[in-house]
Amino acid sequence: FIDLLEQALLQPNTPHIDLDWVSDNDIRELITFNQTELDYPHHLTVIQLFEEQVMHNPNKLAVSDDKREITYAQLKEKVDLVASSLYKKGIGKGHIVGLMMDRSIDAVIALLGILKSGAAYLPINIYLPYKRIEAMLKECKSPLCIVKPEVISEDFTREIQDCSMVSFNELLETELVSFPSVSKPYDLVYVIFTSGTTGNPKGIMIENRSVVNLIFGLKNEIYDKYSSSMRIGLVSPFEFDASVQNMFGALLLGNSLFIVPEEARTDGQKLINFYQEKQINIADGTPMHLRLLTNFIDEKIEYSFKHF
């Protein structure tokens, strides 16, 4: 504005429309604002990028939960078993497979196994009403849903029509088979249902290319700023989008994923203790989680935490 006034004083006979409303510096700054294009592997899928990390970091910790830990090589071994079982059951490209499991290493194995088969995953909260779950599975035309026996009742499995309920453990009891990798960047990775503004759940479909773009955007903005690999905490359930950036931010970039125990998700002291014990650098969460953490931060302690 000041530049414009100065021009008007220096050029009183020049029509205001001919004055430079934006300075050269402002023009250069505006141009740089829009230079957000990144060089990322747009030709690769989520599962292909995961398998690249397996080759580079076979013995590195991939995922940890409150019961056990698993390396990248061990994770791939289990993922291949799940994918083989699904392939034998006719699951592949174009299918959307339900996933009803607790937050655990097994859920990550199942999820990646679904992707390896060529299908997409549909994470479902096991505590939703039966009718809501049935509606989601029907809308996605899911031929199969992976469940853990201890988190779902037999009555429920009988109520769901046209969708086979398969135990996660059953999928591991198979022999490996070779099958072609059919997923493409434009194929779906997952479907997540929102609550919907009308009260009816609405399925949001996300493709491989979108997830890869997100993860490599995070790599450019966050992960590349550090020389060592990151230890990433996962608070969100798999049916929330926030889980995607942390889970795949770990597994597609060679970092380590730590699934926060259920009892620590709503307890600030336990949560900050978990982060410090596991030396977590990055975690997801809501403003509520941030408030929980700030209530228990000790200024005398140097925390490993870098990003929230």
Residue ranges of domains in the chain, CATH in brackets: 2-33 (no CATH), 46-259 (3.40.50.12780)
> Which carries the bigger pLDDT value, residue 237 or residue 301?
237
**pLDDT for 175 beyond 60:** yes
Within 10 angstroms of residue 55's Cβ, the number of other Cβ atoms is: 10
Task: Give the pLDDT mean for 243-272.
Answer: 94
> Which carries the bigger pLDDT value, residue 299 or residue 109?
109
Structure tokens at 149: 């026996």
Within 10 angstroms of residue 108's Cβ, the number of other Cβ atoms is: 25
pLDDT for residue 293: 78
Alpha carbons within 13 angstroms on the beta-carbon side of residue 91 total 30
The pTM (predicted TM-score) of the whole model is 0.84
Task: Give the pLDDT mean for 60-70.
Answer: 97
Residue 272 · residue 308 · CB < 8 Å: no
Task: Give the pLDDT mean for 198-217.
Answer: 89
**pLDDT for 159 beyond 70:** no
Alpha helix (H) residue ranges in the chain: 2-10, 24-33, 46-56, 72-88, 105-117, 130-139, 154-159, 168-172, 208-221, 242-251, 268-277, 287-294
Q: What is the pLDDT of residues 234-257, one digit of tens each?
A: 999 999 998 999 999 999 999 999
